[in-house]
Amino acid sequence: MKISYLLILLSLTLGTPSQIDVSEVRTAYIKASGDEQAVEQLNSKLISVTTTDVKVLVAYKGAVGTMMAKYAKGLKDKKSLFKEGVSLLDYAVTSDSLNVEIRCIRLSVQENAPKITGYKKNIDDDKAFILKNYNSMTDEGAKKFVKGYALRSKVFNDNERQLFQGL
């Protein structure tokens, strides 16, 4: 009986993916760049997300997994975390290939992935997709996230960044 109460309390404390606020995840993802503690906190928040959940959350979970690899001890753990993150991220892209935010998340990972990983093959495709489809986005939070990324990214040149200015 005590175990049942403990499991219920634990599930309420951790939350379920349907209770995860995507806008909070976006904000935390931006802040997590280069901050190990923030990466770990965001990873804990997304731990319950599975491939059956909202695909943008799956994409964020995958991206955070690749960020966790940076802080892992040992090459084996780094490689395992990175591969698992990439797998989730690519699954999200395959499942919802027309989602600009998901493509932006993948672009952010590929832009910042170490060359040794070889995970850079979709940079040009994702960039072109974002440039073509940005104006058709309806989710203002996602649109702001993509715009913010494009304005900071080295992938986009000055002329391309101008397309996001004033939007």
Mean pLDDT, 10 residues at a time, the chain of 167 residues: 44 55 96 93 96 97 97 94 98 97 98 94 98 96 96 95 78
What is the pLDDT, as a whole number, of residue 19? 78
| Cα 103 from Cα 26, distance rounded (Å) | 14
What is the pLDDT, as a whole number, of residue 10? 46
- State the residue for tokens 């997590």: 32
Strand intervals (E) in the chain: none
What is the pLDDT, as a whole number, of residue 80? 96
Find, among 100, 134, 50, 99, the residue nearest to 65 by Cα.
Answer: 50
Contact between 25 and 46 (Cβ < 8 Å) = yes
